[in-house]
Amino acid sequence: MKIIIGLGNPTREYEATRHNIGFDAVTRLCDDYNIRMDTRQHKALCGKGYIGGEKVLLVQPQTYMNLSGESVRSAADFYKVEAEDLIVLCDDINLEVGQLRVRPKGSAGGHNGLKNIILHLGTQEFTRIRIGVGEKPEGWDLADYVLGRFTKEENEILRETLGRVSKACEKIIVEGVDSAMNEFNRKKVQ
């Protein structure tokens, strides 16, 4: 079993913000693989299904971003899943809008959701797909930027990007993280 966690903040005020792209990616997985997010457990909204023939649990933590680790740890413990069987989907301000970076492990890189997951799991050894939301403009407050919404042009790019995130998750599950890195970490040609 794999657990795929999309990071974001609950409540309507955060919907469609840069910081909630992980939630949006889970929603796309639901659409692509006919999975319903119909259970509340592990301080999260969850859905069970199959991707690439493997049983998966999709998770949208409802703890707010900086406490995501509580939800992730609860689900991993309940299903007796090792950190290597987790896939975390999150925003990255160091990547251009629409760019993906698949990694089998690594630091939080300043991302509070990842930082809290690492704290609760006691390891950095979990797969993550970082989804580019663009660099913060000069003079902007970081919180204001990541809690802001995408432009119309960025939203068009992200529709295609979320499809690639969905395919990257399946590739990780079926062929492994190295295969997904080779295919999805290439910089997009404009």
Quick one: tokens of 85?
A: 């069987």
* Cα–Cα distance measured from residue 78 to residue 98, given in angstroms and rounded to the nearest whole number: 33
Q: Are strands 44-51 and 54-61 parallel, antiparallel or unpaired?
A: antiparallel
- Has 19 been annotated as catalytic? yes
Closest CA to 104 of 42, 186, 185, 18: 185
Q: Alpha-carbon torsion 42, 44, 46, 51, what sign?
A: negative
Q: Which among 19, 42, 111, 120 is annotated as catalytic?
A: 19
* CB of 130 closer than 8 Å to CB of 123: no
Closest CA to 58 of 21, 89, 97: 89
What are the residues facing 101 on neighbouring strands?
Answer: 130
Q: Are strands 86-92 and 54-61 parallel, antiparallel or unpaired?
A: unpaired
* Cα–Cα distance measured from residue 36 to residue 29, given in angstroms and rounded to the nearest whole number: 10
Which residues are annotated as catalytic?
19
